[in-house]
């Protein structure tokens, strides 16, 4: 017998000894055994019903979609380094330019609808049942868009996603932080008018350079949005952002990792159970000088303190991730088993801004699916067929 044949015999003997194969004269159902712990977490990370609550439209459009849009306009997204280098992460300046480029490619309502539908499809494929897309509306109105035309195009994408995939969700209209409080107030009025007209605006937030203006300067926008019945979130990137965010009564805090450095304010976050929409890969990719890997990210300290942590992608193509990968990263970092992973998914669904008339029914359906997947990650119903 050849050496390879000897090796095969030894492998079979070891498998039998380890319980992986039947012995001579024995039989068993090869499908009956449960999955091992590693693959079970991998599969659960992708399959559990979950909510994506921190996702920027311009930063979530798949590279394949951007290339198609660019080709339609005769724009070459490549540079001299390599065909895919237009999507490299090479620092915040290039990242900002990449997001601007993506937004500039959206010239027609049909392009907005198609791009948003591609974004939503990627999220559904990663297990999402609810998606809230963030849009810095001023970026598009500055380029000639009527804000209601832009939002109607997104509404069309959400309508298709609901029809095809039973996906719930809506739009978070974001203030550009660098534009200040006056512009935020005008954007908040537009968001309120859009919601009143039946467009799927569920809340307001903010994004942009956290060093541009103090978080507190956005107070006029948040006050108007709250008065108009919208929910509030916002990027809380700096330690000095945490207190005004809490004082404004934000319903969710985007990122919020800096709260770990303000123990007095973290105590308020924990007491009020304000959800934090954490984006682990985004933070590590952008700030390796502070968080070189997941085990140095503040998530473990936040979770240990009792913060209500949820997990999201931010701008997934630019950080080479998706929501399933974020759950797997969190599981590795925090030492989760299946129960903890399912609980994290449930926490994201609870933090979602669902319509009141749908909330209980949708959560009931998702709970049943979570329970079935916890029994076996291959099953999303009561059991095997």
Q: Under DSSP, is residue 296 helix (H, G, I), strand (E, B) or coil? A: helix
**Helical residues (DSSP H) of the chain, grouped into ranges:** 3-17, 37-47, 57-60, 63-73, 92-104, 109-125, 137-141, 147-165, 180-196, 219-227, 239-247, 263-272, 280-286, 299-305, 316-319, 323-334, 338-351, 356-375
CA 211 to chain centre: 24
The proportion of the chain whose per-residue pLDDT surpasses 90, expressed as a percent, equals 83
The arrangement of strands across the sheet holding 231-232 comes to 50-52, 128-136, 168-176, 201-207, 231-232
Distance CA 320, CA 281 (A): 8
CATH number of the domain bearing residue 265 = 3.20.20.140
Confidence check: pLDDT of 91 > 80: yes
197-236: per-residue pLDDT in tens? Answer: 999 999 999 999 999 999 999 999 999 999 999 999 999 9
The domain containing residue 231 runs over which residues? 42-367
126-185: per-residue pLDDT in tens? Answer: 999 999 999 999 999 999 999 999 999 999 999 999 999 999 999 999 999 999 999 999
Q: What is the DSSP secondary structure assignment for residue 135, as one 8-state letter?
A: E
Residues 285, 319: contact at Cβ < 8 Å? yes
What is the pLDDT confidence band of residue 81, given thresholds at 50, 70 and 90?
Answer: very low
383 found inside a domain: no
Cβ neighbour number for residue 378 with a 10 Å cutoff: 14
Q: DSSP string spanning 187-215?
A: HHHHHHHHHHTT--EEEEEEES-TTTS-G
308-365: per-residue pLDDT in tens? Answer: 999 999 999 999 999 999 999 999 999 999 999 999 999 999 999 999 999 999 999 9
What is the pLDDT confidence band of residue 77, given thresholds at 50, 70 and 90?
Answer: confident
Q: Residue 76: is it exposed, middle or buried by C-beta count within 10 angstroms (0-12/13-18/19+)?
A: exposed
The CA distances from residue 118 to 62, 66, 271, in Å, are 7, 10, 38
Confidence check: pLDDT of 385 > 50: no
Question: How many domains does the chain contain in total?
Answer: 1
Task: State mean pLDDT over 83-108.
Answer: 87
The CA distances from residue 270 to 247, 258, 259, 273, 278, in Å, are 15, 14, 10, 5, 15
356 found inside a domain: yes
336 found inside a domain: yes
């Amino acid at each position: 017998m050849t050496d390879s044949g000897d090796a095969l015999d030894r492998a079979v003997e070891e498998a039998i000894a380890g319980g992986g194969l039947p012995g001579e004269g024995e039989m068993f159902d090869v499908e009956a055994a449960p999955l091992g712990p590693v693959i079970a977490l991998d599969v659960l990370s992708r399959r559990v019903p979950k909510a994506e609550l921190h996702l920027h439209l311009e930063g979530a459009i798949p590279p394949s979609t951007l290339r198609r849009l660019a080709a339609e306009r005769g724009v070459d997204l490549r540079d001299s380094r390599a065909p895919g280098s237009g999507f490299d992460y090479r620092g915040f300046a290039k990242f900002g330019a990449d997001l601007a480029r993506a937004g500039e490619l959206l010239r027609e309502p049909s392009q907005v609808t198609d791009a948003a539908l591609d974004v939503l499809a990627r999220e559904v494929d990663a297990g999402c049942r609810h998606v809230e897309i963030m849009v810095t509306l001023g970026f598009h109105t500055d380029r000639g868009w009527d804000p209601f035309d832009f939002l109607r195009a997104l509404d069309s994408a959400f309508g298709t996603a609901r029809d095809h995939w039973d996906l719930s969700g809506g739009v978070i209209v974001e203030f550009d932080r660098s534009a200040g409080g006056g512009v935020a107030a005008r954007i908040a009025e537009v968001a309120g008018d859009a919601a009143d007209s039946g467009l799927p605006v569920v809340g307001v937030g903010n994004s942009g350079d956290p060093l541009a203006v103090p978080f507190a300067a956005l107070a006029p926008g948040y006050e108007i949005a709250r008065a108009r019945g919208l929910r509030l979130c916002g990027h809380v990137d700096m330690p000095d952002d945490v207190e005004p965010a809490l004082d404004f009564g934000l319903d969710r805090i985007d990122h919020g990792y800096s709260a770990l450095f303000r123990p007095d304010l973290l105590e308020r976050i924990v007491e009020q159970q304000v959800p934090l929409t954490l984006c682990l890969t985004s933070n590590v990719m952008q700030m390796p000088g502070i968080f070189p890997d997941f085990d140095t990210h503040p998530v473990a300290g936040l979770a240990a303190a009792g913060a209500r942590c949820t997990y999201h992608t931010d701008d997934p193509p630019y950080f080479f991730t998706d929501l399933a990968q974020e759950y797997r990263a969190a599981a590795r970092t925090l030492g989760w088993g299946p129960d903890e992973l399912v609980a994290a998914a449930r926490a994201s669904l609870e933090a979602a801004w669902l319509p009141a008339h749908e909330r209980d029914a949708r959560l009931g359906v998702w709970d049943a699916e979570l329970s079935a997947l916890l029994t076996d990650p291959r099953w999303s119903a009561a059991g095997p067929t």
